[in-house]
């Protein structure tokens, strides 16, 4: 990903190019004027230089009659330029500004066809997911943050949405969230927190709001990041990319849908690691048995592992609701498309299948060790019965001998 700074509003721009070869179908005009100024940001100094990075042969394009400012822009669009502050560039290939201009940050990316595509950084909405506890009191959280609470639009009661920042700004149908001062926090009762449009330096403050109502705090917080991009001119409702999803707009229903998948994903990662720890523990036990032919484990410890495995599986299925479809996705096909895409993107089904396989491995080992411990207990009881029977026989023999001796006397 590259960042460029395109020039913005100006009145006159001169384009100096070497004489065009005879094969070119047109010659750039000496003077170009923009029909409409662009948005202001950081001002340039009086003289700035634009250097063409890539020159596309003009023969590849259909010639346009050079008559209007808009036509001039189309012709000038054959150049991909990067805004730099330098005066050491050959004047034969430079664009010179006559008046102060301004600029804003633009992200330049290469699409699948190798063409540089400019994306305004303000259209990007950062999404951050956190998991640092196993339970959150949603009722208490809402009571202390009533002005920020957004009433639910579905029957789902395992999460709440809080709005921060400029509470007067609306995010209705078609309204863009990017570039606004509004931030959203989706909190789930199983401990996941998903933040939308919240700067990184403000994250700790939002997490402390939830921490007051959380229980089962974890020694290590888990974190995941994602990105939502808004593009009102997008030809389709949504478009996926590498670690981001592009939408025409992001509203409350979109926040709920995206937040539900990210919350499940970050929580599932925690439970997968819990099961991985149990698998590692049983692996060590099996290796010890391979070397010594026996193992040392208290019955209580084994029962603890059984309870841990069962509770992890129950939490994933019941608390996370991993197989429950979002109500919003049921009602609207657009959000169903987002829900299905993100579940596939984060591989929730595959990860649960892997978790289930590991739990079956743990279950098999637990059953095997339980049988061994049960056999040990049975052997002990059998030996105890043998000893008692032997003791009874000895007592009986002693009693018989004693009575015989008395009788002889």
For the beta carbon of residue 69, count every other beta carbon within 10 angstroms.
11
Q: Do residue 85 and residue 140 come from a single domain?
A: no
Q: Do residue 168 and residue 302 come from a single domain?
A: no
Domain-ending residue, one of 266, 286, 307: 266
pLDDT of 122: 52
Residue 374, domain extent: 274-382
The pLDDT tens digits for 137-149 are 999 999 999 999 9
DSSP H or E run through 377:
helix 348-408
pLDDT of 104: 37
Which of the four pLDDT bands, split at 50, 70 and 90, describes residue 224?
A: very high
Q: Do residue 228 and residue 294 come from a single domain?
A: no
Which of the four pLDDT bands, split at 50, 70 and 90, describes residue 92?
A: very low
Q: Do residue 143 and residue 94 come from a single domain?
A: no
Whether 237 is covered by a domain: the verdict is yes
DSSP conformation letters of 163-193 = EES-TT----TT---TTSS-EEEEEETTSEE
Residue with tokens 């909190």: 187
Which of the four pLDDT bands, split at 50, 70 and 90, describes residue 192?
A: very high
pLDDT of 376: 80
Q: Which pairing describes strands 244-247 and 214-230: parallel, antiparallel, or unpaired?
A: parallel
**Of 110, 108, 107, which Cα lies nearest the Cα of 122?**
107
Whether 388 is covered by a domain: the verdict is no
Q: Do residue 284 and residue 259 come from a single domain?
A: no
The pLDDT tens digits for 24-43 are 444 444 443 444 444 444 44
Q: Do residue 143 and residue 165 come from a single domain?
A: yes
Q: Do residue 131 and residue 260 come from a single domain?
A: yes
Q: Do residue 344 and residue 371 come from a single domain?
A: yes
Q: Would you give the DSSP letter of residue 403?
A: H
């Amino acid at each position: 990903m590259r960042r460029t700074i395109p020039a913005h509003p100006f009145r006159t721009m001169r384009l100096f190019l070497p004489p065009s070869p005879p094969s070119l179908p047109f010659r750039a005009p000496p003077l170009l004027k923009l029909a409409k100024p662009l948005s202001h940001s950081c001002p340039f100094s009086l003289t700035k230089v634009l250097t063409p990075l890539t020159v596309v042969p003009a023969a590849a394009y259909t010639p346009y009659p050079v008559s209007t400012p808009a036509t001039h822009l189309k012709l000038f669009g054959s150049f991909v330029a990067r805004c730099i502050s330098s005066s050491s560039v050959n004047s034969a290939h430079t664009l010179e500004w006559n008046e102060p201009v301004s600029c804003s940050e633009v992200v330049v990316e290469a699409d699948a066809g190798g063409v540089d595509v400019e994306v305004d950084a303000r259209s990007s909405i950062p999404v951050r997911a956190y998991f640092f506890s196993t339970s959150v009191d949603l009722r208490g959280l809402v009571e202390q943050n009533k002005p920020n609470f957004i009433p639910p639009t579905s029957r789902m009661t395992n999460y709440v949405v809080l709005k921060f920042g400029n509470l007067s700004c609306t995010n209705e149908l078609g309204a863009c969230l990017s570039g606004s001062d509004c931030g959203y926090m989706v909190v789930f009762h199983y401990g996941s927190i998903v933040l939308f449009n919240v700067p990184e330096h403000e994250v700790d403050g939002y997490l402390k709001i939830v921490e007051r109502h959380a229980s089962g705090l974890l020694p290590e917080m888990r974190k995941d990041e994602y990105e939502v991009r808004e593009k009102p001119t997008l030809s389709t409702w949504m478009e996926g990319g590498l670690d981001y999803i592009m939408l025409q707009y992001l509203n409350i229903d979109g926040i709920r849908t995206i937040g539900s998948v990210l919350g499940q994903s970050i929580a599932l990662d925690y439970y997968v690691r819990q099961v991985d720890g149990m698998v590692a523990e049983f692996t060590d036990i099996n290796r010890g048995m391979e070397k010594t032919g026996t193992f040392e484990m208290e019955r209580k410890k084994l029962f603890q592992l059984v309870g841990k495995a069962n509770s992890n599986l129950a939490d994933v299925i019941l608390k996370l609701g991993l197989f429950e479809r979002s109500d919003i996705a049921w009602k609207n096909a657009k959000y169903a498309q987002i829900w299905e895409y993100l579940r596939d993107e984060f591989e929730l089904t595959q990860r649960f299948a892997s978790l289930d396989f590991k739990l079956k491995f743990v279950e098999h080992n637990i059953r095997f060790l339980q049988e061994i411990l049960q056999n040990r207990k049975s052997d002990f009881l059998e030996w105890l019965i043998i000893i008692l029977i032997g003791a009874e026989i000895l007592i009986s023999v002693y009693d018989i001998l004693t009575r015989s001796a008395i009788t002889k006397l």
